Amino acid sequence: MMIAFFLSAAAIVQNPAPIAPTVQAFAGEATFRPLSPTHATVTIRAAEGESVVDIDTIDDALAVLADRRLAAIWPQLLTWAGPSLTGLREALVADARAVFAKGRTKQADSAIASVVRPRLRPTFQLADALLAAGQVAEATRLMEDARIAEPQQGNSFWSIHWAAMSQWLAKARDVRGDSQGTLDVLEAAIPPLGNDRVKLNLEASRASVLLDLHRPAEALAAIDAVEARFQAPGGIFSGDVRVKGSDRQFAWIRACALQQLGRTAEAKAAAAPLYPITEPQDRRVRIDPTVKLRKQLGLCTRDVALTAQSYAEMLRDDPYGGEALVELQPAFRRRGYDARFMDEVRGHPLLAPILAARLRALPDDLVPALNGWGAMSPAP
């Protein structure tokens, strides 16, 4: 499990009432517009108003193809993206290679890329495109070479770039379910940072990976140590360097560790920051919505009700398409997937009627794209 790149704090409310999302009917029309080989939109005009869904990634396309209410535009989407989405896959890689050749971009497509300088963002964009296309070896070599080439002398961003590239290399192992390999990458990347504060991001990620390896006592000790240093008065994170909502990252890791240790009451209390009064925002970097971290906790603790509630809220927030329709696919087999548990989640009374109205099981020819053409399936 990987967490957001920087850390901070937000106000919380105790024991919030669960939200009960409603099943949305669809009576309207959808219009598909291909704007470039790598970007298209779907405009939905319905009684509740107009919505626009952007398609910029393979998962965006899969989400639209998984929404049964948008069946009218599937043929047009598949003509544009290719019948098994290989056309879109190749276009995204080609576009990322073109950006990489230019050597600089202000665009940041991920939380990790948003913290590095524009000259390094094309590397992340290309590495992500290659990883999503199943070209794991090339993506990994690209990032390893960039990390080696990053100058340390006279480079005030060296530690941030080192940590960001190391985090990406860990992610490349993590998406294949190689938790031990992920841990190895993180543990090798931490010592070169010395006492630099960005080290805490890798240490927090290390704590989350220890949960995957069923080492909750070590995970709890690790995340407690990270937060103690992070919150220390007058310490390295004093002032305005904390990214909003970082306490939520501590919370889900700590709560999962406590639950795995059988300390249920403490786990419930530790999860309180996952229910903020207002959703944290930060102008400097992209941060995860809190509902995704609640979903992380549900998956980590194998809590069917919490996971179903989280997915229901995600579907409420994405009234058309949405990543939940991808992750809830019966054929979804990315990292850490537990088929029996996910069957229970899909069948939960809160989620089942929503999925009955919205979810289409993707056909066999789209399953390779669903699972990253092998890049995001468990390693053999």
- Give the angle subtended at the CA of 364 by the CAs of 358 and 369, to the nearest 5°: 85
Report helix angle 179-189 to 199-212, nearest 10: 160
pLDDT of 223 above 80: yes
pLDDT of 103 above 80: yes
Predicted local confidence at residue 366, as pLDDT: 98
Q: How many residues does the chain have?
A: 380
Residue 79 corresponds to which tokens in the numbers above? 């003509």
Encode pLDDT of 166-180 as tens digits.
999 999 999 888 999
Encode pLDDT of 235-265 as tens digits.
665 555 566 778 899 999 999 999 999 999 9
Superfamily of domain 28-374: Tetratricopeptide repeat domain (1.25.40.10)
Burial grade of 148 (CB within 10 A; 0-12, 13-18, 19 or more): exposed
Predicted local confidence at residue 337, as pLDDT: 81
Cβ atoms of residues 311 and 352 within 8 Å: no
Residue 61 corresponds to which tokens in the numbers above? 């396309």
Encode pLDDT of 108-162 as tens digits.
888 788 889 999 999 999 999 999 999 999 999 999 999 999 988 778 899 999 9
Closest residue by Cα to residue 208 from 223, 224, 191:
223
Local structure of 53: helix, strand or coil = strand
Predicted local confidence at residue 283, as pLDDT: 66
Predicted local confidence at residue 238, as pLDDT: 56
Report helix angle 136-149 to 121-132, nearest 10: 160
Cβ atoms of residues 169 and 143 within 8 Å: yes
Per domain, the residue ranges of the chain are 28-374
pLDDT of 232 above 50: yes
Predicted local confidence at residue 21, as pLDDT: 44
Residues 87, 333, 380, 295: is their CA dihedral positive or negative?
Answer: positive
Cβ atoms of residues 298 and 307 within 8 Å: yes
Cβ atoms of residues 14 and 277 within 8 Å: no
Q: Pick the range with the lowest mean pLDDT from 92-96, 145-149, 348-352, 376-380.
A: 376-380
Predicted local confidence at residue 6, as pLDDT: 46
Closest residue by Cα to residue 312 from 252, 354, 283:
354
pLDDT of 202 above 70: yes
Helices (H) and strands (E) in the chain, counts: 17, 3
Average pLDDT over residues 301-308: 97
Which strands make up the sheet holding 39-46, listed edge to edge? 28-36, 39-46, 49-55
C-alpha span between 245 and 289 (Å, rounded): 9
CA-to-CA separations, 270 to 3, 255, 287, 355, in angstroms, rounded:
17, 5, 20, 31
Residue 157 corresponds to which tokens in the numbers above? 């961003």
Cβ atoms of residues 78 and 84 within 8 Å: no
Encode pLDDT of 20-58 as tens digits.
444 444 557 999 999 999 999 999 998 878 999 999 999
Maximum mean pLDDT: which of 19-23, 266-270, 316-320: 266-270
C-alpha span between 346 and 351 (Å, rounded): 6
Predicted local confidence at residue 23, as pLDDT: 43
pLDDT band at 3; cut points 50, 70, 90: very low
What's the mean per-residue pLDDT of the chain? 88
pLDDT band at 279; cut points 50, 70, 90: confident
